[in-house]
C-alpha cells in the first residue's frame, strides 16, 4: 500500500467532511442571522468564530472515526499493519457509504423500508447504479467520475432501482476487498456492522458476490461499542484486549448461494458501468 493511496484517501475524507461543513455553515448562518434574534447583538467576528468552531468539531468527529476504525482493524489483526488498516478505513468511509447515503437522504429513510421495496422484485432487471457522487474512491481513485443510473427500460420498477442501490454497496465492498486481498491474501469470511448491516437482502447479496460467508454481530453499532471497550480497558473493567474477543457473538451468518459463473458475470457488468462513469467530469 503506497503513501500516495493514503494521502489520496485522506484528501477524499477531507473533501467529504468539507461538504458537510459547508452545509453546516449555511444552516447555522441562516439560523443565527434570521431566527435567533437574541444573538444579533453579537458581532460578525463572534458569530463567525462560533460557526467555524462547529465546522472544525464536525471535521474532527469524522476524521477521528476513520482513525478509530483503523485502530480497531489493526487491533483485531484483520490486516498485517496499521497502514493497511488505515487504507481500508479510508476506503470504506469514502466509497462504501455513498450508496447508503443516497438511500437515506433521497427519500428511502429506513434501510428496512428499502429492503422490502428491493425484495419486491427478483433482480434489478438490468439496472445498475454507480453512486460516484464525489468521484470514485478505492480502488479506482477517479475524482472526475460521476454518479450514474443505467439500464432503465419501460419495465423498470421502483424495486429494481432500490435493489440496484443495495447491490452497488455490495459491489463497492467487493472492489475494496479485492484490492486489500492483493496485499494480504485471501480471507474466509467478512464481518459487518453499522446501520446497513440490518438489511438481510444486502448481506445475502454481499456474501454472494464475495463467495464467502458474511457474519453480523448482535451489536451492530460497533463504533459506539468500541468507545465503550476503550473506556472499560482504561478503567480496568476488562483486564486486557484479549478479554474482549470472547464478548463478540454473531446474530446471523449469510452463506453464499450464487454460482461462480453468475458472480463473475454480475461483477463484470458492474465494472462495465464503472468504466462508463470514469472521467465524466474531467
**106 pLDDT above the threshold of 70:** no
Which residues are CB-contacts of 59 (< 8 A; sequence separation ≥ 6)? 14, 17, 18, 20, 21
d(CA 266, CA 270): 6
Q: What is the pLDDT of residues 12-35, one digit of tens each?
A: 455 555 555 555 555 555 555 544
Q: What is the pLDDT of residues 197-226, one digit of tens each?
A: 889 999 999 999 999 999 999 988 888 888
Q: What is the pLDDT of residues 222-281, one digit of tens each?
A: 888 888 888 888 888 888 888 888 777 889 999 999 999 999 999 999 999 999 999 999
Q: How many CB atoms lie within 10 A of CB 16?
A: 20
Structural domains present in the chain: 3-277 (3.30.420.40)
Cα–Cα nearest to 140, from 16, 275, 1, 280: 275
The whole model's pTM is what?
0.65
Q: How far, rounded to the nearest angstrom, does the alpha carbon of residue 189 sit from its chain's CA centroid?
A: 18
Amino acid at each position: 500500500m503506497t503513501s500516495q493511496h493514503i494521502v489520496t484517501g485522506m484528501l477524499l475524507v477531507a473533501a467529504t467532511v468539507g461538504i458537510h461543513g459547508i452545509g453546516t455553515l449555511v444552516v447555522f448562518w441562516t439560523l443565527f442571522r434570521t431566527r435567533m434574534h437574541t444573538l444579533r447583538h453579537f458581532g460578525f467576528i463572534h458569530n463567525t468564530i462560533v460557526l467555524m468552531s462547529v465546522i472544525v468539531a464536525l471535521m474532527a468527529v469524522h476524521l477521528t472515526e476513520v482513525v478509530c476504525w483503523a485502530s480497531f482493524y489493526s487491533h483485531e489483526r484483520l490486516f498485517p499493519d496499521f497502514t493497511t488498516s488505515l487504507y481500508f478505513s479510508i476506503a470504506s468511509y469514502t466509497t462504501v457509504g455513498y450508496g447508503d447515503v443516497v438511500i437515506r437522504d433521497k427519500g428511502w429513510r429506513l434501510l428496512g423500508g428499502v429492503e422490502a421495496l428491493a425484495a419486491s422484485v427478483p433482480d434489478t432487471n438490468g439496472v445498475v447504479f454507480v453512486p460516484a457522487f464525489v468521484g470514485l474512491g478505492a480502488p479506482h481513485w477517479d475524482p472526475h467520475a460521476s454518479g450514474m443510473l443505467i439500464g432503465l427500460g419501460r419495465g423498470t420498477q421502483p424495486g429494481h432501482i432500490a435493489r440496484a442501490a443495495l447491490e452497488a454497496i455490495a459491489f463497492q465492498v467487493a472492489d475494496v476487498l479485492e484490492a486489500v486481498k492483493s496485499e494480504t491474501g485471501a480471507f474466509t469470511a467478512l464481518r459487518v456492522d453499522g446501520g446497513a448491516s440490518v438489511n438481510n437482502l444486502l448481506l445475502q447479496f454481499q456474501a454472494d458476490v464475495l463467495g464467502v460467508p458474511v457474519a453480523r454481530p448482535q451489536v451492530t453499532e460497533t463504533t459506539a461499542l468500541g468507545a465503550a471497550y476503550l473506556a472499560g480497558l482504561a478503567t480496568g473493567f476488562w483486564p486486557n484486549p484479549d478479554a474482549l474477543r470472547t464478548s463478540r457473538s454473531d446474530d446471523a451468518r449469510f452463506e453464499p448461494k450464487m454460482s461462480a459463473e453468475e458472480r463473475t458475470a454480475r461483477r463484470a457488468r458492474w465494472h462495465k458501468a464503472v468504466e462508463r462513469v470514469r472521467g465524466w467530469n474531467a
